[in-house]
Amino acid sequence: MKKSLKRIDAHLSSLGYCSRSEAKQFLKRFKVCVDGVRVFDVSKKVPHDVVRIEGEPLDPEALLILMHKPSGVICSHDDAGVLIYSLLPERFGRRNPKLSTVGRLDADTTGAILLTDNGTLNHQLSSPKSDVTKVYEVTLAQALRGDEAALFASGTLMLNGESKPLQPAHMEVMSSTQVRLEISEGRYHQVKRMFGAVGNKVVALHRVRFGVYDVEDLGLGEYRVLDFGV
C-alpha cells in the first residue's frame, strides 16, 4: 500500500508540536530528520513514519490513551478546575482533531478512562449500545440488603427516567458495603443510579477496567499510549 504524503509543517501542526507558521523556527530549534537526514524545508512532503524529532518518532497519527484518572480531575475541555488534559503533554492538547475522553468519569471517580482523537472510535466505545464491559469497585453508604446481585443480573431493573431496563450486570460482594460490579452499558451515572434504585448511595467509585484495558500497573495520573484499535 502506498503511504500518504504530507508536508512536514502539516505533520507537526496536526500533531500539536507547533503551528504551521512556527514550523520553520521549530526545524531550526530541533533536529528534525527524514530517513536520517536533517531537514529545514517545511514544504517537503513525506510519510509520517520516516520523520524523527531529536531521534524520536512522531506521535501516532491517531491517539488512543489509557489513563488512571485521579479524584478531583474533570473530564472536560472547558469547565473550571483541574482538567484531565492538563495531565498530558501540552502538544496533545493542540492536536487536530482534538483529543477527547471516551465518555466521562465524575470528578470524584477514579480509574480507567480512555482518550482518543478518533471520533468514530470514540462513538463506538462510548455509545450505550457499545457492549464494552466496564468493571467498577464500589463503596456504599449502607450495608447491602441482599437482593442486589440477583436484581442487577435479572435484566429487569428500570432506572428513573429510562424507557428500557438495564442489561444484566454481574455483581460480586466483597464486604457488606463494598462490591465489584461489571456492566456492559454506558448510561448516564449508571452505577450510582443503580444503587440509588435499591435505596443505597455510592460514596466511592473506582473503575478498574474499561474493555480489555485495566489500570493495575498505572499510578494515579499516569497514562499509557495504546496501539490504535481495540
Compute φ and ψ for 136, nearest 5 degrees.
-125, 145
State the CB neighbour count (10 A cutoff) for residue 47.
14
Distance from C-alpha of 79 to C-alpha of 60, rounded to nearest angstrom? 27
Pick the catalytic residue: 106, 131, 214, 217?
A: 106
Compute φ and ψ for 147, nearest 5 degrees.
-105, 5
Q: Tell me whether residue 147 is one of the annotated catalytic residues.
A: no
State the CB neighbour count (10 A cutoff) for residue 11.
23
Residue 27 contacts residue 39 (beta carbons within 8 Å) = yes
Distance from C-alpha of 129 to C-alpha of 52, rounded to nearest angstrom? 40
Residue 63 contacts residue 99 (beta carbons within 8 Å) = yes
Distance from C-alpha of 93 to C-alpha of 107, rounded to nearest angstrom? 20
Query: Residue 157 corresponds to which cell in the numbers above?
Result: 431493573
For the annotated catalytic residues, the residue numbers are 106
